[in-house]
Amino acid sequence: MTELFYSGAVVAVIATLLVIVQTNVVHALIYLVLSLLAVAVVFFSVGAPFVAILEAIVYAGAIMVLFLFVVMMLNLGQRSRDQEKNWLPARSWLVPSVLAAVLLMQLTASFPAAQTQIVEVGARAVSELLFGPYVLAVELASFLLLAGLVSAYHIAKK
Amino acid sequence: MQWEVGSALNIASILAAVIVIAAMLIWVERRLLGFWQDRLGPNRVGPFGLLQVVADMIKIFTKEDWIPPFADRFSFVLAPTIIMIVVLLSFSVVPFAPGVGIVDSNIGVLFVLAMASLGAYSVMLGGLSSDNKYALLGSLRAAAQMVSYEVFMGISLLGVVALAGSFNLREIVLAQEGGWFVVPQFIGFIIFLIAGVAESHRLPFDIPEAEQEICAGYHTEYSGMKFGMFFVGEYLGLVLISSLITVLFFGGWQGPLLPPLVWFFIKASCFIAFFILLRAAIPRPRYDQLMSYGWLFLLPLSLINLLITGVVILSANQM
């Protein structure tokens, strides 16, 4: 499982970097899907298969499809690619990279000792938590989604 | 948390069997369609035209594999591989018989749904990268259709999951020892059937590739083996949906006298034949009819089905 974790993590990091540097929007989206699937593998390897598969269904399978759907309607061509290139020149990497490196060093220094004991949390355990102690949060989230749905309907009607 | 994975022989034979059956379906479909339309169908190559598949394969492998210069190469090459990969991966959780199957996953049903939703990328990227009006129209239709029908597909299965108390497909089969789930979950079965046809965009729901309106839809620009992968991927999807219906609603491999694998084969073949008959019998709906039928009729129906199933299970548990 450790190998699975590290391979998933490496793929996720590389794919996410490629999402940032890609100038072609469609390619960037494909790498984003890959990154989400790699994160799903990471979840799976640390004992959360239910969360992993939800990550694949909801993020990689549904939300990213909608992103791609919108990109299809926009008809982006060479011009947007050039624009993207102008927006990301080499020198704008400098300061964020230094800051991120500092942050990374602090994080690695303050990591707790690695846990090797993996306990699998299945679908049943997750549901018992969601509809037991956290039922209020689930209800609030559904309110939010309903509000979003109603406002989308309203805007579409206009 | 180690999951048992089937032996290499198991995996290889399932892979080979599934691909050969999907390829043979090209011939089976044409023969059956011919039979139902009162004509002969392909019967020249080999006995009963059985070698037609071989001839088709030789032709498709030796054809020029052309990538249009205006296409986006990366996504153009990626698109047909996605459909093959996701459909073949879905077969990994299908239990064919006791001891035959690749993984007994605790998230089997969800895994199939996840793969089905990833399959949408294949048609979308195929149409988008082709840089062709018809391909783009086809993939827009495909995306809308697949995203909407995925929703009811998932909800229609929840009744079965609730009755069996597990996402594991093998446990769902074992839970049907006393009776097939098609009886208590008849509405769920019908919705899954319709959503399954829409997911594999077969006739009558082949709006993304409707020849009369938009050429061949998302695979207009594809030729050679890349087109072949879309084509075989569609038949693989047909085999997958038939196997899933067998597993989820018709007791999987269970049946008297005959060995389990034969029962599975018979049941799945019946559904494959049914899907082909559906193609011969029903005309294609209009795009907006398909969408409003899904959202305004199938979605409420599947939610009510789930609600009633939940109430019945809860009240049965309390007694």
- DSSP SS3 for B168: coil
Kindly state the percentage of chain A with pLDDT values over 90. Answer: 25
Report yes or no: A70 at the B interface, CB cutoff 8 Å: no
**B51, containing H or E segment:** none
Total domains in the fold of chain A? 2
Residue A70 lies in a domain: yes
Binary contact (A122, B117; C-beta < 8 A): no
- Can you tell me the ipTM of this complex? 0.82
Q: Measuring CA to CA, which residue among B118, B121, B141 is closest to residue B75?
A: B121
Same domain, A80 and A147: no
pLDDT of res. A114: 64
For residue A127, being part of any structural domain is answered with yes
B-chain residues near A68 (CB < 8 A) = 121, 124-125, 128, 143
Contacts A–B by Cβ distance under 8 A: 83
Is B185 in a helix, a strand, or coil?
Answer: coil
The per-residue pLDDT for range A85-130, each reduced to its tens digit, is 777 777 888 888 899 999 989 888 877 766 667 777 778 888 888 8
Residues contacting B73, CB < 8 A, separation 6+: B67, B129
Asked if the structure places residue A110 within a domain, the reply is: no
- Under 8 Å CB-to-CB from A25, ≥6 apart: which residues? A71, A76, A80, A84
B100 DSSP β-pair partners: B97
User: Does some domain include residue A94?
Assistant: no
Q: Considering only CB atoms, which chain B residues are within 8 Å of A33?
A: 118, 121
Residues A84 and A128 grouped into a single domain: no
Whether residue A106 lies inside any domain: the answer is: no
Q: Please provide the distance, in angstroms rounded to a whole number, between the alpha carbons at the two ends of chain B.
A: 36
Provide the terminal-to-terminal Cα distance of chain A, rounded to the nearest Å: 52
Question: Per the domain annotation, does A101 fall within a domain?
Answer: no
Looking at the fold, whether A51 and A127 belong to one and the same domain comes out as: no
Per CB-CB distance under 8 Å, the chain A contacts of B75 are 26-27, 30
Q: Is residue A32 part of a domain?
A: yes
Q: Is A81 found in the same domain as A13?
A: yes
Predicted confidence band at A143 (pLDDT cuts at 50, 70, 90)? very high
Buried b (16+ CB within 10 A) or exposed e, B294-306: beeebbebbeebb
Q: What is the CATH number of the domain that holds A11?
A: 1.20.120.1200
Average pLDDT over residues A37-56: 87
Report residue A128 as tokens.
């018992």
Give mean pLDDT in consecutive 10-residue pieces for chain B, a chain of 319 residues. Answer: 67 84 84 83 78 83 81 84 89 82 81 87 83 81 82 86 84 82 84 85 70 71 80 86 88 80 86 86 80 86 89 84
Among all residues of chain B, which has the CA nearest to that of A31?
B75
CA-based nearest distance B150→chain A, Å: 9
Domain enclosing residue A145, as ranges: 122-158
Q: What are phi and psi of B179, to 5 degrees?
A: 170, 145
Chain A hits for B124, Cβ within 8 Å: 65, 68-69, 72
Question: Is B150's CB within 8 Å of A118's CB?
Answer: no
Is residue A117 one of the residues assigned to a domain?
A: no
Which of A68, A89, A110 is the last residue in one of the domains?
Answer: A89
Residue at token pair 């996605």: B82
Query: Could A123 and B106 be called an inter-chain contact, meaning their C-beta atoms sit closer than 8 Å?
Result: yes
Does residue A85 sit in the same domain as residue A33? yes
Distance from CA of A102 to the nearest CA of B (A): 36
Helix and strand tally (H, E) in chain B?
12, 0
pLDDT score at B208: 67
- Using CB atoms, pick whichever of A24, A53, A122 lies closest to residue B114: A53
For residues A52 and A10, membership in a common domain is answered with yes
